Amino acid sequence: MPGTEVPVDHSEARRLVSLRMDGERLPEEDAAGLDRHLGECPECSAWARRARRVREAVRFEVVPAVPDLVGAIMVRVRAEAREDVGEVSPEDVPARGGPPPAEGVRPQRRLRPRLARLAAAALVGAIVGSVVAGRGLLPGGDREGGGLRVASAAEVSEGVARAAASLSSFRATYAVTESHFHPDVPVREFTVGVWFSEPERFRLQVADHTAYPGAGWPRNDLTIVVDGPRSYASLPPPCPVVAFPDCPLERRVEAARGRAPFSGAAGVLADAVLPLVTLADPARVSVLGPGRVGSREALRVELAHRDAEALLAVLREGGTWRPFHPDDRVVVWLDPSSWFPLQYRVFPAPGAERRAWGFRFGLPEEDPARAVFSATVLSLDTSPADPTVFSIPEVADGGPAAGGVSLPFAEAVRRFGRDPVLPVDTAGLLPYRGVVPSGAGGSPDEVVLAFARGLSWLKVRESRSWAGDEPFGAVGVQAERVELPGGGVAFYEPATGLHGRRVSIHADGVDLYLETNLSREALLEVAASLPVRGGELPESWRVRESEDRSVAARRVSLEEAARLLPFPLELPSALPPGFGAVSAEIVEVGGVAGVTVYLQGADRGTPEGIRLHLEPASDLPPVSGAEQFTVAVGRSVGRWTPDRALLEWVSGGVYRSLSGPGFELDDLLAVAASLRPAGSDGGPA
pLDDT above 70 covers what percent of the chain? Answer: 73
Q: Report, as an integer, the average pLDDT of 454-483.
A: 89
**117 vs 315 pLDDT, higher one:** 315
**pLDDT-based confidence at residue 59 (cuts at 50, 70, 90):** very low
Q: Contact 65/645 with Cβ under 8 angstroms?
A: no
| Strand duo 570-572 + 675-677: pairing | antiparallel
**pLDDT-based confidence at residue 29 (cuts at 50, 70, 90):** low
List residues bridging with 291 in a β-sheet. Answer: 298
Please give the pLDDT value at position 8. 65
- Tell me which range, 36-50, 228-242, 264-278, 643-657, is most confidently predicted by mean pLDDT: 643-657
**pLDDT-based confidence at residue 213 (cuts at 50, 70, 90):** very high
| Model confidence at 143: pLDDT above 80 | no
**pLDDT-based confidence at residue 606 (cuts at 50, 70, 90):** very low
**33 vs 359 pLDDT, higher one:** 359
**pLDDT-based confidence at residue 95 (cuts at 50, 70, 90):** very low
Per-residue model confidence as pLDDT tens digits over 619-628: 998 887 678 8
**pLDDT-based confidence at residue 79 (cuts at 50, 70, 90):** very low
Q: Report, as an integer, the average pLDDT of 630-650.
A: 91
Identify the CA nearest to 640 among candidates 628, 625, 657, 632: 628
**314 vs 107 pLDDT, higher one:** 314
Q: Contact 375/173 with Cβ under 8 angstroms?
A: no
Please give the pLDDT value at position 393. 85
**357 vs 451 pLDDT, higher one:** 451
Enumerate domains of the chain plus CATH numbers: 10-58 (no CATH), 90-212+274-379 (2.50.20), 404-537 (3.40.1000), 542-677 (3.30.200.100)
- DSSP assignment, residue 89? -
| Model confidence at 496: pLDDT above 90 | no
Planar angle of CA 449, 453, 457, nearest 5 degrees: 50
Q: Locate the DSSP E strands across 476-609.
A: 480-483, 489-493, 501-507, 510-516, 543-545, 551-556, 570-572, 579-589, 592-601
CA separation for the pair 640, 110 (Å, rounded): 23
**pLDDT-based confidence at residue 26 (cuts at 50, 70, 90):** low
Please give the pLDDT value at position 552. 85
Per-residue model confidence as pLDDT tens digits over 508-534: 999 999 999 898 999 999 999 999 999
List residues bridging with 222 in a β-sheet. Answer: 206
Sign of the Cα torsion 130, 132, 138, 142 reads: positive
Per-residue model confidence as pLDDT tens digits over 351-380: 888 898 898 888 999 999 999 999 999 999
Please give the pLDDT value at position 542. 86
Q: Report, as an integer, the average pLDDT of 639-644.
A: 88
| Model confidence at 60: pLDDT above 70 | no
Q: Report, as an integer, the average pLDDT of 491-495.
A: 88
| Model confidence at 57: pLDDT above 60 | no
**pLDDT-based confidence at residue 308 (cuts at 50, 70, 90):** confident
| Model confidence at 313: pLDDT above 60 | yes
Please give the pLDDT value at position 589. 84
- Tell me which range, 13-17, 235-239, 426-430, 662-666, is most confidently predicted by mean pLDDT: 426-430
Per-residue model confidence as pLDDT tens digits over 254-270: 888 888 898 876 766 77
3-class DSSP state for residue 32? helix
Amino acid (one-letter) located at 675: L
Residue 384 buriedness (CB in 10 A; 0-12 / 13-18 / 19+): exposed
| Model confidence at 503: pLDDT above 90 | yes
Per-residue model confidence as pLDDT tens digits over 119-128: 332 322 222 2
CA separation for the pair 320, 182 (Å, rounded): 11
pTM beyond cutoff 0.75: no
Please give the pLDDT value at position 365. 94
**pLDDT-based confidence at residue 151 (cuts at 50, 70, 90):** confident
**pLDDT-based confidence at residue 283 (cuts at 50, 70, 90):** confident
**pLDDT-based confidence at residue 80 (cuts at 50, 70, 90):** very low
Q: Report, as an integer, the average pLDDT of 529-556.
A: 87
Sign of the Cα torsion 252, 253, 258, 264 reads: positive
Q: Contact 131/327 with Cβ under 8 angstroms?
A: no
Residue 199 phi, psi (nearest 5)? -95, -20
CA separation for the pair 66, 126 (Å, rounded): 29
pLDDT above 90 covers what percent of the chain? Answer: 35
Largest CA distance in the chain: 87
3-class DSSP state for residue 169? strand
Q: Report, as an integer, the average pLDDT of 636-642.
A: 92
Question: Count of alpha carbons within 13 Å of 484, Cβ hemisphere only?
Answer: 26
User: What is the enclosing helix (H) or strand (E) of 195?
Assistant: strand 185-197
Q: Report, as an integer, the average pLDDT of 164-177.
A: 91
- Please, what is the average pLDDT of the chain? 77
| Model confidence at 61: pLDDT above 60 | no
Q: Report, as an integer, the average pLDDT of 422-439.
A: 91
Q: Report, as an integer, the average pLDDT of 83-89.
A: 37
**Segments in 253-396 forming alpha helices (H):** 265-273, 309-312, 352-360
**211 vs 602 pLDDT, higher one:** 211
